[in-house]
Amino acid sequence: MFAPLGEALSSRLGTRLWPHGWPLPLQALLAVVVFELPWYWIHRLEHIWAPLWRVHSVHHSSRRLYWWNFARTHPLDNLLSAVAAFTPLSLLGVGDEPLALMAAFSGAHGMLQHSNIDLRTGFLDLFFSTARVHRWHHSPRRHEADANYSPRVMLWDHVFGSYRFRPDVAPPEDVGLGEDAAEFPESYVGQLLVPFRSDHGRKRHP
């Protein structure tokens, strides 16, 4: 939808906005960085603002982490995040190849990120949202979970001060919604309706 606007903007400026001449790996890396900035802020807002938290809480409702959690999200959550994240790339005129490379990396990373295995990722925990780093984000305690918002690389968490990880401290064993878990619906239809329930608040421990 925004690609024609990007083409018009490039024509008006008389130059391509996206560096198509760069090597493909660098274009893919730039695509990830641009893609994740609006996603980061949408994700952070979802943890702060109650109406958006009701949408995002579906992803946090699982009581254990496993690889399929990567896809356990409300359709509105997917739509909001994807539109916000892809709009800048479309306006800049990103090509198909860096997008395809970014998508392949994102799919594999998302499953590893939510996997229930003891991955020893070492120094990579500083740069990527690994399983050890991301597990803190799924803690039922808000002071632990309201951090590490970046979906893949931790750049924007470092920039905006929301990176939380200590290699000498084990991530939390328990995950989920804490006190909210008891009243959270188990059925798919029930979870689709959660964003429209004003009684579904946020009672997680501070």
Average pLDDT of the chain to the nearest whole number: 89
| Terminal Cα-to-Cα distance of the chain (whole angstroms) | 41
Angle, to 10 degrees, between the axis of helix 75-92 and the axis of helix 50-60? Answer: 100
The CA-atom distances, in angstroms, between 170 and each of 8, 95, 147, 173 are 51, 41, 16, 8
- Residue 70 confidence (pLDDT): 84
pLDDT 10s digits, 145-168: 999 999 999 999 999 999 999 888
State the pLDDT confidence band at 120, using cuts at 50, 70 and 90.
confident
Better pLDDT: 15 or 33: 33
Going by C-alpha positions, the residue among 38, 67, 3, 21 that lies closest to residue 149 is 38
pLDDT at 133 over 50: yes
